[in-house]
Amino acid sequence: MHSKFRTFAGQLLIASQIFILFLLLFENKLVIPAWLQTIGRMHPLILHFPIVILLLAMLLEFFSFRPEYAKNPFYRNFLHNLLLAGSLLAAVTVIMGLFLSKEEGYEGEILTYHKWTGVGIFFFASFIYFIRNSSWYKAPVAKAGSLLTVAALVVTGHYGAALTHGMNFIWEPIESTKEAAAVSPDEAIVFTHIVQPILEQKCTSCHNPDKMKGQLSLTDAQSLLKGGKSGKLLVPGNPEISLLLQRIHLPNDEKKHMPPIGKPQLTPQETAILNLWIKDQAKIDKKLASYPENDSLRFLAAAYLRPAGQMEAYDFEPADEDEITALNSDYRTIVPVAKNSPALAVNIYNRATYTSRQLNDLESIRKQVISLNLNKLPVKDADLEIIGKFENLQRLNLNFTEISAGGLKALTGLKNLSSLAISGTKIKYGELSALLPAFKNLKTVSVWNTPLSEPEIAQLQKANGNLAIIGGFKDDGKNMLRLNPPQMKNSSPVFAGTMALQLKHPINGVEIRYTMDGSEPDSVKSPLVSDKMLLTKSENIKAKAFKNGWYGSETVQFDVYKSSLQPDSVQLLAPLNRVHQATGAKTFFDRKLGVIGANNPAWANNWAAVKDNDMILVSEFKKPALISSVGIHYMIEEDTGIFPPETVEVWGGKDAESMKLLSKFQTAMPAKGDKPSLKTMEGKFKPQTVSCLKIVAKPLNKIPEWHKNKGGKALLLVDEMFLN
């Protein structure tokens, strides 16, 4: 290398050291613009060059004091240049890595280890470059330095791979071949033994405490329920609007599809398990054995458990995978009953779409079907003729179908049938008593909610000693149920003059009682809701439904807001956050309130936000308006960095040039661990007649020290403003 160029490169190396020290010292204050983020994302591309060059340089350095190399000018010159190039490229890689680490999703111990070992390699390699010509730099020092640098490169690379692919990336192929610990179905917990392993295999490489993409970790139940930057991941009981399932069901080429393209994708069975688990309220501690024997989730979960005993062997060949995939639909699922088992479980859903064809379509896999669930479908006797051909069928659920005892005769030829569920049907004692002896291998029959009386069930049990007759619960009308809460039917909770409050209930004869003083409604003293109830100001209303023979509903709260003034024109003087634009300036007076939860359309459509600048709204009135208060409706979700305004200023006057400060107000900040909530803050002042009104809401400039994003700027979300 030319001496002048080497001198310049050496000076550049010193400048790089100073710049990197600067970045490290002021790391918490760094804000990386978009164009530098692009440079930071080149870190995975560039890092291979310094690794290879420094490995080669350290190999040459290890032997550099051998006589044949020490006196070789080309060897020493080449090594010196190689070490300089490797150190400079290491500097570039470190700078890019520091830029990349400021993006969301990178945090935790692994990032810390990766960052400091990488920085250490750069400074140590630079140190070797500058001191290697010193008189005290001898062979032992060179060898020790070379070995230390190589070891640091390996460790740093390992932590980098862990950030990108997960901590267990290297050993995963070996460990994946190991058998899971035997878990008895009676002991298995659905989340711990089925749901969590699916997430670990397909999700946690990007969503763990050390690499929280989207501020989301999926390594434990608490983190899963907490959600991430986009909001709650699960809506228990509603898989259709749960963000987890929405992302999974996006087309593979969609940017937000999860897992991303190139990562192992979920199988249809895994997706179905997650769907059914969320539908069942996403319970963390529920045991598999607590689900009904013919429950769909119980069937699917069996495929993810290695039985404690020997898995049942079948003498038939597995069905064609493509055939199974083609037969699966929104209303029919077909899955193996266990890993590597040829036996299949079939579940058919949706009463409105059911036809006999859905059974006929299974002709090609009838030998492999051992479980069939037709619960609450309009199955008739003719359909049982089709089912009678499923020669290996073991479990059949006909609960609440339209079959008769005559139709069941078509099933007596099923030699493997061991479980039959006919609860909720019209089968009578005499018919069933004559029919049961024809089922030679039947072990259980479920007959609850049928015309059979308890004495008749006992008589059937006595006559069929080896058969378990399950009577179960029968509703005699004495078991009280809880009413669901009343619902608000007004088109908007925001009104200008008066509001006729409309609280309704889907069950006839229900009384709805309410309070507006913060107390709990009761069934005697609290006033009844009526069509004549008029509200004239903002209120917090508690309501509860009551009816004889029912338990009262849970208390529900409704907030209504009065906003008597509507500006003729509105404009924003500063930009909104690019993610939360809503309908721009019109958002604040459209009488549409947002909600908490990123998977609800009202989250995306009704919230306007700012972070890097103030929210400045100017309103004009063609006819001067008398105003004495301004209210702002906002969201708090401290965990994701959504805080109230730091202050709100209200300015007013006859025009933009003559406005004066009418009010400046603020509210309390949330504490650590506070639940997400929707709040209103209001500033009151002496009545003023204005034609021009300016509202300035300032986002919190410095997040508290207890927060994970301490010192950063908070996001301010506002959906409505109230002028009175």
How is the chain split among helix, strand and coil, in percent rounded to 5? 35, 20, 45
Which among 552, 588, 547, 618 is positioned nearest to 680, based on CA atoms? 588
Domain stop point among 531, 562, 593: 562
For 224, residues 6+ apart whose C-beta sits below 8 A from its C-beta are 199, 218, 233, 234
Q: How far apart are CA 599 and CA 579, in angstroms?
A: 14
Domain stop point among 497, 528, 562: 562
By residue range, what is the domain housing residue 574? 569-723
Q: Is the pLDDT of residue 176 over 90?
A: no
Residue 183 is assigned to a structural domain of this protein: no
Residue 204 is assigned to a structural domain of this protein: yes
Residue 648: both structure tokens together: 């709100």
Residue 298 is assigned to a structural domain of this protein: no
Segment 664-677 shows an average pLDDT of 90
Residue 175 is assigned to a structural domain of this protein: no
Residue 639: both structure tokens together: 């965990």
Q: How far apart are CA 27 and CA 101, in angstroms?
A: 10
Q: Please indicate, yes or no, whether residues 557 and 574 belong to a single structural domain of this protein.
A: no
Residue 548: both structure tokens together: 């004889």
pLDDT value of position 108: 67
> pLDDT (tens digit, 9 = 90+) per residue, 59-88?
888 888 888 888 788 888 888 888 888 888
For residue 252, what pLDDT band results from cuts at 50, 70 and 90? low
Which among 276, 280, 268 is positioned nearest to 237, based on CA atoms? 280
For residue 352, give the CATH number of its domain. 3.80.10.10
Residue for token digits 């699960």?
Answer: 234
CB atoms within 10 A of CB 316: 12
Segment 24-47 shows an average pLDDT of 82
Residue 133 is assigned to a structural domain of this protein: yes
Q: Please indicate, yes or no, whether residues 320 and 466 belong to a single structural domain of this protein.
A: yes
For residue 550, give the CATH number of its domain. 2.60.40.10
Domain stop point among 503, 532, 562: 562
Residue 195 is assigned to a structural domain of this protein: yes
Q: Please indicate, yes or no, whether residues 611 and 539 belong to a single structural domain of this protein.
A: no
Q: Please indicate, yes or no, whether residues 83 and 232 belong to a single structural domain of this protein.
A: no
Q: How far apart are CA 334 and CA 322, in angstroms?
A: 12
Alpha carbon of 28 to those of 23, 24, 547: distances in Å? 9, 8, 59
Alpha carbon of 236 to those of 164, 232, 276: distances in Å? 31, 10, 10
Q: Please indicate, yes or no, whether residues 693 and 625 belong to a single structural domain of this protein.
A: yes
In terms of Cβ atoms closer than 10 Å to its own Cβ (0-12, 13-18, 19+), residue 712 is: middle
For the chain, the C-alpha Rg in angstroms (whole number) is: 35
Phi, psi for 630 (deg, rounded to 5): -135, 130
Q: Is the pLDDT of residue 720 over 50?
A: yes
Q: Please indicate, yes or no, whether residues 558 and 573 belong to a single structural domain of this protein.
A: no
> pLDDT (tens digit, 9 = 90+) per residue, 339-387?
678 889 898 988 888 999 999 999 999 999 999 999 889 999 999 999 9
Residue 171 is assigned to a structural domain of this protein: no
> pLDDT (tens digit, 9 = 90+) per residue, 382-433?
999 999 999 999 999 998 899 998 899 999 999 999 999 998 899 999 899 9
Residue 475 is assigned to a structural domain of this protein: no
> pLDDT (tens digit, 9 = 90+) per residue, 113-165?
888 888 888 899 888 888 888 888 888 888 898 899 889 888 888 888 777 76
Q: How far apart are CA 680 and CA 562, in angstroms?
A: 12
Residue 497 DSSP one-character state: S
Segment 502-519 shows an average pLDDT of 88
Residue 100: both structure tokens together: 């990349």
> pLDDT (tens digit, 9 = 90+) per residue, 179-198?
445 566 667 888 888 888 88
Q: Please indicate, yes or no, whether residues 218 and 125 belong to a single structural domain of this protein.
A: no
Which among 558, 600, 605, 616 is positioned nearest to 583, based on CA atoms? 605
Number of domains in the chain: 5
Which among 31, 242, 231, 28 is positioned nearest to 640, based on CA atoms? 231
Q: Please indicate, yes or no, whether residues 510 and 603 belong to a single structural domain of this protein.
A: no
Q: Are 710 and 604 in contact (CB under 8 A)?
A: no
Phi, psi for 342 (deg, rounded to 5): -80, -15
Q: Please indicate, yes or no, whether residues 400 and 427 belong to a single structural domain of this protein.
A: yes
For residue 715, give the CATH number of its domain. 2.60.120.1190
Q: Please indicate, yes or no, whether residues 380 and 397 belong to a single structural domain of this protein.
A: yes
In terms of Cβ atoms closer than 10 Å to its own Cβ (0-12, 13-18, 19+), residue 205 is: buried
DSSP assignment of 601-662 equals HHHHHH-EEESSS-EEEEEEEEEEEEEEEEEEEEEEBGGGTB--EEEEEEEEESSGGG-EEE
Q: Please indicate, yes or no, whether residues 341 and 459 belong to a single structural domain of this protein.
A: yes
Q: Estimate the crossing angle of helix 109-131 against helix 3-25, to 10 degrees.
A: 150
Q: Are 304 and 273 in contact (CB under 8 A)?
A: yes
Q: Please indicate, yes or no, whether residues 511 and 539 belong to a single structural domain of this protein.
A: yes
